[in-house]
């Protein structure tokens, strides 16, 4: 069986077009940037009849040229993906990759179609589709979210076992045929093999589940901790604010990477400190949910008790399953209803992310609360006799949602980078983990000889963080219009 080229039979048609479009597009962008220095400050021109239009001439022509060339490039890329998904490896490596990601493409198309159709009734999320930057960022993020879901839940997309080794495939280049392939096996290593003869494409896909499972959920837990402590600190002030701010500043005084290293080192793990931290930090979602419900339905006892039971009992069972560990030095080894086991390395990294991010969220929430509590609607709620926690959670917090949503997206990106850094240095997660940081670290050892082991996970990490940053920019842009 022959090696796959990058574009296969499709390249004979599209490669020459792409080779012409890319340099022309780059020249057009550079020309537009240079011309922008000489464009009139107003950006408009006045007609003889007194009407105004956007600046035309060479400036308008350059803008149109960049737009049309960009659309042409986008169409060529879509042609690679669509035709590649249709004919598979007949379109080379790109076609094989596109075919494997077919469920993700379908999910993305459905998401965009439904979201754009109902965007006027979807609040801030719907307004996101009025921003081109937000839509691009959302697409990049959801690509990896759907990849993680289809692999983690349905065991799709990957071509081989991410941990499996195949004789003769060590450090093989992308598109190398699989030696000794049996019926039903995928016939190629699409992105080549690593130094242990494992399929890099499958490891990149499997690594997405680790990032998507840890980064957003750990960031959400950190926000619950920061919100639960930041609201009363900013609202009440005084000694409570002083004490909580002191501890937050104490944690923030440590360099983030150094603090991560200290928390995930084997010596610290053996002391049982991560389990103790988990017991404390994982209580905050319970506290947050309980106070949120009780403050809202305090005067309606039947609803209050019902909602508290429906929400807190499952959360308590999940909490006990998370912090329970049958092996010492865990403090909770007796809990019988252990629905799932969290790998020790994942729990340590998860707790470390929550612990490191919580003080920063606390500072943001505290500052927003100190500003918003002076508003008239807060004074009106106090005049009505509302309780402090009701005012904090139902008057102040909703009006702070814009900056918090933007920071949440950015913080997931920071967490993704931190997870990659930990994996790169071999800390926290198991040595054979397919997380992107570990895969990059293993590939960089032979970087001067082979680029393919380190480049795909690095690009995956870059695309996810870029998507999160663009999504945050889109959300910020739309929230400012409210």
Residue 86 has pLDDT above 80, yes or no: yes
What percentage of the chain carries pLDDT values higher than 70?
Answer: 90
Query: H-helix or E-strand containing 143?
Result: helix 132-152
Q: Which residues contact 253 (CB under 8 A, 6 or more apart)?
A: none
Residue 405 has pLDDT above 90, yes or no: no
Closest alpha carbon to 221 in 97, 315, 339, 98? 315
**pLDDT tens figures, 92-122:** 899 999 999 999 999 999 999 999 988 888 8
Q: Judge whether 263 and 340 are in contact, CB under 8 Å.
A: no
Going from N- to C-terminal start, the domains of the chain cover 1-44+52-100, 208-479
Angle at 309 between CA 308 and CA 312, to 5 degrees: 70
**pLDDT tens figures, 303-348:** 999 999 999 999 888 888 777 765 555 556 566 666 556 666 677 8
Between 65 and 273, the higher pLDDT residue: 65
Among 264-278, 294-308, 451-465, the least confident range: 264-278
Q: Is the dihedral of CA 201, 207, 209, 212 positive or negative?
A: negative
**pLDDT tens figures, 387-400:** 999 999 999 998 88
Between 342 and 13, the higher pLDDT residue: 13
Residue with tokens 């995956």: 460
Between 446 and 383, the higher pLDDT residue: 383
- Report how far residue 344's alpha carbon sits from residue 351's, in angstroms, rounded to the nearest whole number: 11
Coil, helix or strand at residue 179: coil
Global confidence as pTM: 0.86
- Report how far residue 203's alpha carbon sits from residue 173's, in angstroms, rounded to the nearest whole number: 15
Other CB atoms within 10 Å distance of the CB of residue 1? 10
CA distances for 336 relative to 320, 329, 340, angstroms: 9, 18, 11
């Amino acid at each position: 069986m022959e090696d796959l080229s990058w574009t296969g039979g499709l390249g004979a048609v599209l490669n020459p077009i792409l080779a012409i479009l890319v340099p022309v597009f780059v020249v057009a962008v550079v020309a537009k940037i240079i011309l922008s220095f000489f464009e009139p400050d107003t950006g408009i021109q006045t007609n003889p009849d007194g009407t105004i239009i956007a600046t035309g001439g060479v400036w308008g022509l350059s803008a149109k040229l960049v737009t049309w060339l960009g659309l042409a490039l986008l169409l060529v890329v879509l042609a690679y993906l669509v035709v590649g998904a249709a004919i598979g490896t007949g379109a080379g490596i790109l076609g094989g990759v596109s075919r494997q990601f077919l469920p993700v493409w379908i999910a993305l198309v459905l998401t965009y179609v439904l979201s754009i159709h109902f965007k006027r009734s979807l609040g801030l999320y719907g307004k996101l589709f009025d921003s081109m930057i937000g839509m691009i960022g959302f697409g990049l993020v959801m690509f990896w979210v759907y990849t993680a879901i289809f692999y983690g839940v349905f065991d799709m997309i990957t071509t081989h076992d991410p941990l499996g080794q195949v004789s003769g495939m060590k450090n093989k280049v992308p598109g190398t045929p699989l030696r000794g392939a049996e019926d039903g096996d995928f016939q190629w290593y699409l992105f080549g093999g690593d130094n242990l003869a494992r399929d890099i494409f499958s490891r990149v896909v499997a690594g997405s589940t680790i990032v998507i499972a840890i980064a957003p959920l750990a960031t959400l837990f950190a926000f619950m901790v920061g919100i639960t402590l930041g609201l009363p600190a900013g609202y009440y002030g005084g000694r409570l604010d002083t004490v909580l701010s002191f501890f937050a500043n104490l944690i923030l005084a440590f360099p983030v990477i150094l603090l991560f290293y200290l928390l995930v080192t084997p010596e610290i793990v053996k002391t049982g400190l991560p389990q103790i931290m988990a017991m404390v930090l994982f209580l905050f979602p319970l506290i947050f949910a309980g106070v949120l419900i009780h403050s809202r339905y305090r005067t309606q006892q039947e609803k209050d008790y019902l909602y508290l039971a429906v929400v807190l009992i499952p959360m308590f069972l999940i909490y006990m399953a998370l912090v329970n560990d049958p092996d010492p030095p865990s403090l909770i080894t007796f809990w019988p209803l252990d629905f799932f086991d969290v790998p020790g390395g994942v729990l340590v990294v998860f707790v470390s992310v929550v612990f490191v991010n919580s003080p920063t969220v606390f500072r943001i929430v505290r500052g927003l609360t100190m500003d918003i509590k002076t508003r008239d609607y807060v004074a009106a709620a106090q005049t009505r006799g509302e309780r402090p926690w009701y005012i904090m959670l139902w008057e102040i917090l909703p009006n702070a949602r814009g900056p918090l949503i933007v920071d949440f997206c950015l913080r997931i990106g920071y967490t993704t980078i931190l997870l990659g850094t930990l994996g790169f240095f071999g800390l926290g997660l198991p040595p054979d983990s397919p997380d992107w940081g570990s895969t990059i670290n293993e590939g960089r050892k032979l970087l001067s000889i082979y680029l393919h082991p380190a480049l795909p996970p690095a690009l995956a990490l870059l695309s996810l963080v870029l998507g999160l940053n663009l999504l945050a920019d889109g959300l910020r842009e739309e929230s400012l219009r409210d």
